[in-house]
């Protein structure tokens, strides 16, 4: 007899509580194998393909594309065949029926089979095979199974089985951004495939209807209610929550200093002229940060508010701010203190490219202990950055521009940069923060200072 197993949305990473269904990779009736990706979801940090830990036939899907589901909500159900039909997901249950009959009838029956096995299910990680003795048989009777709606839809929308056929994810995003229900669009492509022109035509028609609609009667509503409302979700929502939490919990302060970066730029030019892989400026600044944190470890820490303790961290995992089409993200270079300038340049390049392609994994975006923010790429001189909670500090770097500067007692044109440090005043006082920033500025002005610690 077939066994119907429910697969719930797993915990996809640190701090993630929900995900939006972007694209279903299987339809009801499809046969899936163990660890086969079944749905593509967008979390606040990355786009992730979620594999199913069961092998069998998909009997129901929960949620349309564009629906946001909380972690732990049902994703789909799979009908698993007899012993040996679906690999590890259908471990032998004959012996279990004898030993676990009482457990099947216990009051905790609502704890679905998948609830024990669907944590951290990510492509590349696989799914853990639980012990067979912990499995239980789900009764196949219709009365005992939940009653999912395979294709839920509003009453005014025609029912549609499976995902709406769209030529590309970009077209689906265009429709979602415009608030357009793709189920109401008639596709002009082969077999009703919805093309970009179809979506643009539907959006234009919607705008025309809006323009010709009679104006509502004046009301006492505030003027702001007429503005555009943009949902705070996905990356934008995660950034809003994290920055708000940082401002609420962390008593931060900022200090800054101008530095003559002429010697640092000259040193980089010499390195790159010597042959081999090119060294990025960000990699050199990262090396300076790592050495500064070794001298001032108070800033490579976090605050455990529940225990009222400062936790000083032994390793430097360096985050760096990166602007992408999906918004601001902070990829993390793990073990930055053990990497050379060449290795740092390579890892910065890899993570930046992955960010542009929306291919960063939750592991790439978590675990940072200190952040380097090079906002100079936006053409600005200074900033007072908000700390990336739960870290304790962030170094900001402005643009490097020619400015008048007194050098060796004479006025000269030098390459000048403004450095700023925002720090959690709970982990240190101004003297420590000022000492850290001054050391960074000294290394920028005289890179040879690093030779004492290399």
Residues that are catalytic: 425
Q: Which residue stretches of 213-326 are H helix?
A: 234-249, 262-273, 281-295
Integer Cα distance of 110 and 282 in angstroms: 52
DSSP strand pairing (18-24 vs 327-329): unpaired
Q: How far apart are the first and last CA of the chain?
A: 67
Contact in structure between 22 and 42 (CB atoms under 8 Å): yes
The residue whose two tokens read 């939490």 is 245
DSSP strand pairing (18-24 vs 68-70): antiparallel
| Phi, then psi, of 393 in degrees rounded to 5 | -160, 160
**CA 360, chain centre distance (Å):** 7
Number of helices (H), then strands (E), in the chain: 9, 19
Structure tokens at 61: 């899907």
Q: Is 392 helix (H, G, I), strand (E, B) or coil?
A: coil
DSSP strand pairing (252-260 vs 410-424): antiparallel
| Phi, then psi, of 395 in degrees rounded to 5 | -100, 125
Q: At CA 409, angle to CA 406 and CA 411, rounded to 5?
A: 40
Q: Is 331 helix (H, G, I), strand (E, B) or coil?
A: coil
Q: What is the 3-state secondary structure (H, E, C) of 10-40?
A: CCCCCCCCEEEEEEECCCCCCEECCCEEEEE
Q: Which residues have C-beta within 8 Å of that of residue 451, sequence separation ≥ 6? A: none
DSSP strand pairing (31-32 vs 56-61): antiparallel
C-alpha distances out from residue 448 to 219, 438, 453, 454, Å: 69, 15, 10, 10
Integer Cα distance of 264 and 440 in angstroms: 12
Integer Cα distance of 83 and 94 in angstroms: 9
| Phi, then psi, of 292 in degrees rounded to 5 | -65, -40
Dihedral sign (CA 370, 376, 378, 384) = positive
Integer Cα distance of 80 and 158 in angstroms: 31
C-alpha distances out from residue 387 to 182, 373, 383, Å: 40, 10, 12
């Amino acid at each position: 007899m077939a066994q119907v197993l429910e697969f719930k949305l797993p915990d996809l990473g640190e701090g993630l509580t929900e995900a939006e269904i972007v694209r279903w990779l299987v339809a009801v009736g499809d046969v899936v194998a163990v660890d086969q990706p079944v749905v593509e979801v967008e979390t606040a940090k990355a786009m992730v393909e979620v594999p199913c830990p069961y092998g069998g036939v998909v009997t129901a899907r929960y949620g349309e594309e564009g629906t946001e589901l909380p972690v732990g909500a049902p994703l789909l159900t799979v009908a698993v065949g007899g012993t040996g039909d679906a690999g590890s997901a259908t471990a032998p249950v004959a012996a279990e029926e004898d030993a676990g009959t009482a457990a099947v009838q216990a009051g905790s029956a609502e704890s679905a089979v998948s609830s024990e096995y669907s944590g951290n299910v990510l492509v590349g990680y696989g799914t853990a095979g639980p012990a067979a003795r912990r499995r239980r048989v789900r009764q196949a009777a219709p009365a005992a199974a939940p009653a999912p709606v395979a294709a839920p839809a509003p009453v005014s929308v025609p029912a549609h089985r499976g995902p709406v056929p769209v030529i590309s994810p970009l077209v689906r995003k265009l429709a979602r951004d415009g608030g357009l229900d793709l189920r109401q669009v008639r596709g002009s492509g082969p077999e009703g495939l919805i093309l970009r022109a179809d979506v643009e035509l539907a959006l234009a028609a919607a705008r025309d209807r809006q323009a010709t609609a009679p104006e509502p009667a004046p009301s006492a509503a505030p003027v702001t209610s007429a503005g555009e409302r943009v949902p705070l979700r996905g990356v934008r929502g995660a950034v809003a929550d994290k920055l708000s939490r940082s401002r609420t919990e962390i008593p931060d302060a900022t200090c800054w200093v101008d530095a003559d970066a002429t010697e640092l730029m000259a040193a980089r030019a010499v390195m790159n002229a010597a042959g081999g892989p090119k060294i990025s400026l960000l990699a050199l600044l990262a090396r300076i940060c790592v050495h500064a944190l070794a001298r001032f470890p108070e800033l490579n820490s976090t605050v455990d508010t529940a225990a009222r303790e400062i936790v000083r961290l032994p390793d430097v995992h360096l985050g760096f701010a990166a602007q992408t089409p999906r918004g601001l993200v902070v990829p993390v270079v793990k073990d930055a203190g053990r990497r050379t300038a060449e290795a740092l340049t390579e890892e910065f390049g890899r993570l930046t490219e992955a960010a542009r392609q929306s291919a960063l994994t939750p592991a790439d975006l978590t675990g940072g202990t200190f952040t380097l923010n090079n906002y100079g790429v936006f053409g600005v001189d200074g900033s007072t950055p908000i700390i990336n909670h739960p870290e304790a500090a962030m170094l900001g770097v402005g643009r490097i521009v020619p400015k008048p500067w007194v050098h060796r007692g004479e006025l000269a044109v030098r390459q000048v940069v403004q450095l700023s440090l925002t720090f959690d005043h709970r982990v240190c006082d101004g003297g420590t923060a000022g000492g850290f920033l001054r050391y960074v500025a000294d290394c920028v002005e005289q890179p040879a200072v690093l030779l004492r610690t290399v």
